[in-house]
Amino acid sequence: MTEAYKVFSIVLPVTVFIGFLLDQVLGDPRSWPHPVVGIGNVIAFLERRLNHGSPAKRRRNGVLLTFLVVGGTYLLTLLVLWGANKLHPLLGLVVSVYLVFTTLAGKSLLDAGQSVLAPLKQGDLDAARKRLSWLVSRDTENLSEGEIVRGTVETLAENFVDGILSPLFYAALGGAPLAMTFKAISTLDSMVGYRNERYEDFGWFSARTDDWANYLPARLSVPFLLLAGWLSRMPVGHAYQMWKRDAAGHPSPNGGNPESVVAGLLGIRLGGINCYHGQTHHRAEMGEILHPVNALDIVHCRYLVRTATWLSLFPALLLAFIAG
């Protein structure tokens, strides 16, 4: 029993560490099988069969959808790992590492920022707008260079939490089953967590579950980003003040934490006017304008996210040792 405990206490941090490294090196190979695709297919299948009826019925069915997808993902992941370990413990480790790897989006997030930055540096605004449209839901056809930069920085800042910090936190806390469960929650939110006619009632519980799942990691992002900014001699004191002043004004209970800190570190203002399907919306503003927004802000933001990502690895490994 003692030996089994020792083995598991080592396996969990090893799983987290190797999964993290694979993400940093490989990113998201498009040709590889990805469990999130399967989760998305299940959500789409259930949505077509449950999203109907009165508003009250849609709300009840939305709760049912969340429990089916989240609970099913956790149980299925446990079953897969149990079967793999039965065949051979090394196979169980490989499967666990691969599943953790698929939940992380460190390299792919930085690559997404670079995909907008590259044409922006060449002065090709049309290409930059098109690349940004792959990352955000707002209208991008007529955005200026500054607005393109703002949209990219907001995406990098917000996705540092749900694409990197949250799955890493849950992987360290509960291995592949908990990391995959978080990914199921995140996928639900990205597919049905919208405030529109189709999903206002049906997706409300999925959206709230995503808020709850990201609550602690979003707040943990603040010290990681501040430390990353301090290492690159950015205005940490100013960023801290922007976080205290502006984070709560964000429409998301979590998004304001990384965005306000990044805005303060870069010395720019995030938020403001966005257009969605031709409709203008005003989003709470984060930070103060210390210099005109330009493409270099994407460079600095990518550096912040990369540094904060590596800084978060060490506490994650410590948590994995404790949890193991």
Q: Which CA distances in Å does 144 have to 65, 91, 123, 132, 141?
A: 40, 51, 11, 12, 9
CB atoms under 10 Å from CB of 54, counted, come to 9
Give, for 226, the enclosing helix (H) or strand (E). Answer: helix 204-231
What is the distance between the alpha carbons of residues 308 and 316, in angstroms, rounded to a whole number?
Answer: 12
pLDDT per residue as tens digits for the range 254-306: 999 999 999 999 999 999 888 887 888 888 899 999 988 999 999 999 999 99
Distance CA 120, CA 127 (A): 8
Summarize pLDDT for 57-70 with one digit per residue, the tens: 999 999 999 999 99
Q: Are 158 and 255 in contact (CB under 8 A)?
A: yes
Gap between the Cα atoms of 76 and 177, Å rounded: 8
Give phi and psi for 135, each to the nearest 5: -105, -25
Kindly list the domain boundaries of the chain, sorted by start residue. Answer: 2-323
- Rounded to an integer, the average pLDDT of 79-86 is 94
pLDDT score of 137: 85
In 3D space, the residue among 301, 8, 5, 318 whose CA is nearest the CA of residue 168 turns out to be: 318
Note whether 1 and 314 are within 8 A (CB): no
pLDDT tens per residue across span 273-286: 888 878 888 888 99
